[in-house]
Amino acid sequence: MKTPRVVVIGAGMAGLTAALDLARQGAAVTVLESAAAPGGKMRDVAVGSARVDAGPTIFTMRWVFDKLFADADTTLADHLTLHPAGILARHAWSESEQLDLFADPARTEDAIGTLAGAVEARGYRAFREDSRHIYETLERTFIAAPRPSAPSLVRSIASQGLGGLWNIRPFESMWTALSRHFRDPRLRQLFGRYATYCGSSPYLAPATLMLVAHVEQEGVWLVEGGMHRVAQALAALATARGASFRYDAPVAEICVATGRIAGVRLQSGERIDADAVVVNADAAALAAGMFGRAVMQAVPPPSGQRSLSAVTWAMVAEADGFPLVRHTVFFSRDYKAEFDAIARGSLPSEPTIYICAQDRTDLGAAMGSPERLLCLINAPATGDRHTLSQTEITACADRVFTQLRRYGLHLRPMAAEATSPAGFNRLFPATGGALYGQATHGPMASFSRPGSETKIPGLYLAGGSVHPGPGVPMAALSGRLAAARLLADLASTRPSRMVATRGGTSMR
């Protein structure tokens, strides 16, 4: 039988998982990546003589990757070394107000009691149960489903009764729900930050996103060698299973003939024929015509608000004073003002600051000095309309470093690479620098994300802008969903040795 030819555009997390699943099941897979290395948003950058992770820094839902590697007849441990984090993150509101979230929830409960009292510790216990119920309700009915609609989701959880529907809390804002669990505004701020993991505001996101707390409670892992190693390992495994990777190979056009996918044309002019194409790019890029007019109508243009962007500094620096651990968050004094500024399209004057100290364990010990740090603040996704000048970026950095000194942290950068929303828009076109697709604001936002299928036969979508949403494990699942749908469609239209069942995306 003729071997199906599949082109995967983009070697981000979803493109890598799709390529691996397709190649191991017999497709002739060519991955085309415009950058010089795999990873997409999971990138590292050169800072002086060092390489600094400049994308996602949290590895969760390990079971997604355990299953992915097992389906490829190997194990995750054969390719990556992971260490469980004992401290999930350290949080600070001032030099004297600090709180660690631990892998052990009993330790977290004690720490909350010490910071804010016994009532708040009991509130944390109830919050943790709430987040667990939400996650368990949606794990199979939404996250693993190809693209559930609101009615299909209701039908899926009907067996759990009205309690199951209530558990997912779609009509209540995250901030409102947190206000019932916690009286202390610091704790509302801390747990509200989970909305930003999906690029959203805790004041507008549904309480459903509290499930992120349960995801972290199930395990945060430190990847030896950095998060970019995950992308490298997946690219190597996909290659070993038969996929071909071409870097520095931007795609100019997706070609359509007789109503279905026919191949792609590179910016160099080269044509590559294909029976199917998986696009691991923001869905907005298709609607904006960045892959040609023939596929502009494949998905509807984005209708929701863009998610958050960021200003980041990947740096090699000396750090002293505040006891950094691998993941540390320094909260602003006025959280609402921060998100109001972003909603107006402005950088917040006093942002919440996240630092990933990549040479530290969760116990805080740095492996030498200077050390590698990624410093990040949230920003509006306006990079296609406004480019921050170097003067503006320098002024922003000065404000951030001055603010950090208020918490007792003194940074002395030896070298740094800044990325603004305009920079992210150049890396990920048609997004304005939005890092998570559309924001998850309101009860129906999750259903507005496209699924893997499109209106054009042979064209599939994958990535954080499509179902089931943003984040490393979700993007990985989206790639698997796209591969499974593609294989099923090919199997239904031609005799083939392709197998569309083994692997899949079943949960655990």
Cα(482)–Cα(65) distance, rounded to whole angstroms? Answer: 16
Q: In what order do the strands lie in the sheet with 244-246?
A: 244-246, 28-32, 5-9, 276-279, 459-461
Does the pLDDT at position 231 exceed 80?
yes
CA dihedral of 39, 397, 94, 333, whole degrees rounded to 10:
-90
Cα(104)–Cα(51) distance, rounded to whole angstroms? Answer: 32
Beta strands in 44-81 (DSSP E): 44-47, 50-53
The burial class, CB within 10 Å (0-12 / 13-18 / 19+), for 307 is buried
Q: What is the mean pLDDT of the chain?
A: 91
CB-based contact 101:91 (threshold 8 Å): yes
Phi/psi of residue 271, nearest 5 degrees: -105, 135
Encoded tokens for 212: 């992120």
pLDDT value for 81: 97
- For the chain, domain boundaries: 5-42+61-74+226-304+440-493, 104-218, 308-427
Which DSSP string corresponds to 335-365? HHHHHHHHHTT---SS--EEEEETTB-TT--
pLDDT value for 163: 53
The burial class, CB within 10 Å (0-12 / 13-18 / 19+), for 492 is exposed
Count of Cβ atoms closer than 10 Å to residue 395 Cβ: 13
Cα(339)–Cα(413) distance, rounded to whole angstroms? Answer: 28
pLDDT band of residue 103 (cuts 50, 70, 90) is very high
Cα(306)–Cα(232) distance, rounded to whole angstroms? Answer: 29
pLDDT value for 154: 53
Encoded tokens for 61: 């839902």
Predicted confidence (pLDDT) per residue in 75-95, tens digit: 999 999 999 999 999 999 999
Count of Cβ atoms closer than 10 Å to residue 5 Cβ: 16
3-state secondary structure of 119: helix
- Partners of 127 in beta bridges: none
Count of Cβ atoms closer than 10 Å to residue 413 Cβ: 17
Least confident span in 57-66, 114-123, 154-163: 154-163
Predicted confidence (pLDDT) per residue in 252-265, tens digit: 999 999 999 999 99
The burial class, CB within 10 Å (0-12 / 13-18 / 19+), for 463 is buried
Does the pLDDT at position 31 exceed 50?
yes
Helix or strand (DSSP H, E) at 120: helix 118-138
Helix ranges, 170-253 (H): 174-181, 185-192, 211-217, 228-240
Does the pLDDT at position 124 exceed 90?
yes
pLDDT value for 472: 97
pLDDT value for 491: 87
Cα(279)–Cα(462) distance, rounded to whole angstroms? Answer: 6
pLDDT value for 136: 82
pLDDT band of residue 161 (cuts 50, 70, 90) is low
CB-based contact 29:6 (threshold 8 Å): yes
Which has the higher per-residue pLDDT, 36 or 493? 36
Cα(190)–Cα(195) distance, rounded to whole angstroms? Answer: 10
Angle of helix 105-116 relative to helix 185-192, nearest 10 degrees, comes to: 140
Q: Which residue is associated with the tokens 């469980």?
A: 84
Does the pLDDT at position 156 exceed 90?
no
Segment 316-345 shows an average pLDDT of 96
pTM: 0.93
Segment 426-436 shows an average pLDDT of 96
Does the pLDDT at position 283 exceed 70?
yes
Cα(148)–Cα(145) distance, rounded to whole angstroms? Answer: 6
pLDDT band of residue 445 (cuts 50, 70, 90) is low
Encoded tokens for 251: 């795609």
- Closest-CA residue to 197 (of 334, 312, 205, 219): 205
Of the candidate CATH numbers 3.90.1010, 1.10.10, 3.30.9, 2.60.40, the domain formed by 308-427 belongs to 3.30.9
Encoded tokens for 243: 């996929």
Write the DSSP symbol of residue 334.
Answer: -
| Percent of residues, the chain, with pLDDT higher than 90 | 82
Encoded tokens for 110: 């004690």
| Percent of residues, the chain, with pLDDT higher than 70 | 89
Does the pLDDT at position 290 exceed 50?
yes
Segment 439-448 shows an average pLDDT of 74
Phi/psi of residue 383, nearest 5 degrees: -70, -15
Classify domain 5-42+61-74+226-304+440-493 at the CATH class level. alpha beta
pLDDT value for 77: 97
Does the pLDDT at position 497 exceed 50?
no
Least confident span in 106-110, 187-191, 432-436, 464-468: 464-468
Count of Cβ atoms closer than 10 Å to residue 347 Cβ: 22
Segment 119-140 shows an average pLDDT of 89
pLDDT value for 189: 98
Segment 31-60 shows an average pLDDT of 96
Segment 468-491 shows an average pLDDT of 95
